[in-house]
Structure 1
Amino acid sequence: MFTALAADSITLHLITDDNVAQVYDLFRGYPDSDVMLQEIADSYLPEYEDGQRTKYGFYATLNHELAGLSLLGIDTGKASTGYTGADTLIHMRGKGVAPRSKPHLFYLAFAILGLNRVETGCFVSNLSSKRSIEKTAGFQLEGIMRESGLNDRGAFEDEYLYAILRRDWERLYDPSQVQVR
């Protein structure tokens, strides 16, 4: 089993049942700590189905400095499909942490787990997430899902849906760039 995926100047450290208390401690003391701690609880903790891990949450470091969170989930309702998500600490935004973490997640999805498709999305009003997704080589806009989620105001909002396929990853990425630790 691996504990981290490293490439570029970003390392994704796997959140496990054994280290979750330490991960919570890492995220204390920042202006956006409350939001990030809630995100860890809501979205980044390990999940399992039939003995198989279905959610791989990571804390991300940029040049060894805590930068945020990334995840790869397995969609058990769709064959060989995963999904990604990310949350970046406010003071680390604008440094490309989320898009530069995607090669790590794609490596996990395609090379280690053997998935065929990875999806992501964002609310149409979230322009910074849209820009981040569009900076990631391979993600293609597949459409808009009408009123598919509740936004922070509790209103239904449309979401953009993007995806990358294994064949796109094989064409665009060099798997040897990701170090598995």
Structure 2
Amino acid sequence: MFRALISDDITLHLIEEDNLADIAGLFQGYPDSREMLEELFRNYLPQYDRAGRRTTFGFYSYLGAELAGMTLLSVDSWDEKAGSTGADVFRHMRGRGVTPRSKPHLFYLAFELLGLNRVATGCRVSNLSSKRSIEKTAGFQFEGVMRESGVNDQGEFEDELLYAILRRDWQGLYHPAAVTVVQ
């Protein structure tokens, strides 16, 4: 297994059970620390399927020397070679391109290291910053709308915009050598 993925000036550090206390310490002292820690423990911890294969690869991210947030790759189906991605960025780090610039790392993990064929993502219609971030990421193609797919913070049903990238798209857009794997 690897410990980190580096490309550009973004470093993704793999979240493991044995480094959770250190990560929780890193996440202290920010106005949105509580929300970020809740997301860490809700969505970013390692998970495994019945066969013992890891299905959740969560990372805490750095932009240069600054802690930026978290990003993840989930393997939704090993049989169908399909995954999905998501991210949470500290408020003070938003608008710096952290999420779209971390996608080459996740695509490398998905397509080169794990052999997936498809990686999907999405956002609620009202989340304009996520929509812009997804649309800035080379390779993601808009696939459609999932009508009233969930409940937003106001308790209302809201549509979700769906995007995906395929292995063949990635091969034409990204160079695997751009990502450094730290063991």
Q: Which residue of 2 aligns with 1:93?
A: 94
1:119-148: CA deviation from partner (whole Å, max 9, x where unpaired):
000000000000000000000000000011
- Which whole-Å CA distance do the structure 1 matches of 2:155 and 2:72 have between them? 24
Quote how far apart the aligned CAs of 1:153 are: 2.0
The letter for the 1-side match of 2:16 is T
Q: Which residue of 2 aligns with 1:35?
A: 35
Number of matched pairs = 181
Q: How does 1:160-171 map onto structure 2 within 5 Å?
A: 160-171=161-172
What are structure 2's unaligned runs of at least 5 residues?
A: none
Name the SS of the counterpart of 1:169 in structure 2. Answer: helix
Instruction: Report the identity percentage.
Output: 66
Q: How does 1:1-181 map onto structure 2 within 5 Å?
A: 1-49=1-49, 50-76=51-77, 79-181=80-182
Moved over 3 A (4+): none
Question: With structure 1 as the length reference, what TM-score do the two structures score?
Answer: 0.98
Name the SS of the counterpart of 1:143 in structure 2. Answer: strand
1:53-95: CA deviation from partner (whole Å, max 9, x where unpaired):
0000000000021000000001038710000000111111111
- Which whole-Å CA distance do the structure 1 matches of 2:33 and 2:118 have between them? 32
The letter for the 2-side match of 1:16 is E
* Between 10-19 and 71-80, the greater mean CA deviation after superposition: 71-80
User: Over the residues paired in the alignment, what is the CA RMSD in angstroms?
Assistant: 1.0
Question: With structure 2 as the length reference, what TM-score do the two structures score?
Answer: 0.97
What are structure 1's unaligned runs of at least 5 residues?
A: none
